[in-house]
Amino acid sequence: MPFVTFHGGIARPYELPPPPGVRDQTKVANASPARPSERAGDEVPAALRRYAEHSKQSREQETKTLRAMVASDIMTSPVQSLPDDANVSTARGLFRLRQFRYVPVVSPETHPIGMLTDRDTFLLSDVNRGLVRDVMRRDVITTTPSTSVQDLLRVMVHAKLGALPVTTDDNVLIGIITTSDVLRAIADVDSLDLWA
């Protein structure tokens, strides 16, 4: 059994979620009935075969491949941001409340001027006196809504970035993309040839 879940010490086969694009659970369950030749202990391979069949159907229905996906398809928008004169204790509270790891720092015109991480807020011993501008990272790489996911991934890996602010042509912040967003997009593509 390649996938197993343990409940109270009892091992059970892990039920795979339906492939992307399949909405009706009853159709998924009934689409490919078990063959009579399958033995009682062979439920997991049968489930994997059914999953593969549904995945193929799903891929045929899917109009966008990962290569065709762009930043606007996966970005979080609207995005929470902070001004550079915000107090570090306020930023720390925002990270704790919203469970963010990255927050863009913006000018009054909402142009990205920095990036703040949850770890940055612990650089000051006296957070009540510190400002976001004292601890933010000033080198910010931004992207546009039309940037391909493949290019986003390359930049994030090579520049060792956990997040990229998304801006308009006028450099106005409209969204953010994190590594979790990119990984989620890759995970939802149901093909070994991700970039086909």
pLDDT in tens, 16-36: 555 555 454 444 444 444 444
- Residue 151 is predicted with a pLDDT of 86
pLDDT in tens, 132-169: 998 988 888 888 898 888 888 888 888 898 999 998 88
pLDDT in tens, 44-83: 666 677 766 766 655 554 445 777 889 999 999 899 999 9
Give all domains of the chain, ordered by start, each with its CATH number: 4-61 (no CATH), 68-187 (3.10.580.10)
pLDDT at 42 over 50: yes
Measure the CA–CA gap between 56 and 90, rounded to whole angstroms.
48
Interval 173-188 mean pLDDT: 89
